[in-house]
Amino acid sequence: MKKIPGWKDQYDRVLRWHKRISDINQGILHNQDSRYYDDEIYSFFINCYHLRDWMLKDKTLTITKKDAKLKEFIDNSNQMKICHDICIGLKHLEITSPKIDKKTQFGSRHYNLTLGGNKPVLSVKYCIRCKGQTFDAFSLATECIKEWNNFIINNIDGAIQKIKISPIF
């Protein structure tokens, strides 16, 4: 019998996307068009924010006042509000109901290509602009994971035993 996917599957997916963007941030074998790296970081923020929707729809997840707690969680976290605005902007082209700033968007990209040795290695640092400030996208992504981990630990009974919270956080 095939397992029905739930919020934990999406959480694990978010961790895998985070690993991919960590590799890009640190440097990976450069063997494809650099727009593929953009797709990876965009996908992280879309999947990270949508963990909320997976939790809302997962009937096996019993959190008292789930809707209210998830809304409060997002609304009380600057990192998750920026994640929301990035996600909505990427998914719908424009942000009509921003949590912070309807102009939140990816800004500059900083490429470092290392030649020499056997194969070229590329690292990309992405910036996010929001409300006149610039944020390192990978640092923001890491903070979003920390925020989700805290929410899960504080709101889901037995979460520490049921899921593997990534030790890097």
Digit-coded pLDDT (tens) for 99-140: 788 898 989 999 999 998 789 999 999 999 999 999 999 999
The torsion defined by the Cα of 139, 7, 37 and 127, in degrees rounded to 10, comes to: -30
Q: In the predicted model, is pLDDT for residue 162 greater than 70?
A: no
Domain extents for the chain? 7-161
Burial readout 42-57 (b: 16 or more C-beta within 10 A, e: otherwise):
bbbbbbbbbbbebbee
Please give the Cα distance from 169 to 150 (Å, whole number).
10
Cβ distance 51 to 7 under 8 Å? yes
CA nearest neighbour of 16 among 141, 135, 158, 137: 141
Q: How high is the pLDDT of residue 19?
A: 96
User: Could you count the other beta carbons within 10 Å of the beta carbon of residue 121?
Assistant: 16
pLDDT digits (tens, 9 = 90+) for 10-59: 999 999 999 999 999 999 999 889 899 999 999 999 999 999 999 999 88
pLDDT value of residue 5: 81
Q: Do strands 28-29 and 133-136 pair parallel, antiparallel, or not at all (unpaired)?
A: unpaired
* Segment 133-150, tens digit of pLDDT: 999 999 999 999 999 999
Q: How far apart are CA 158 and CA 81, in angstroms?
A: 27
- pLDDT greater than 50 at residue 169: no
pLDDT, greater one: 49 or 61: 49
pLDDT on residue 87: 93
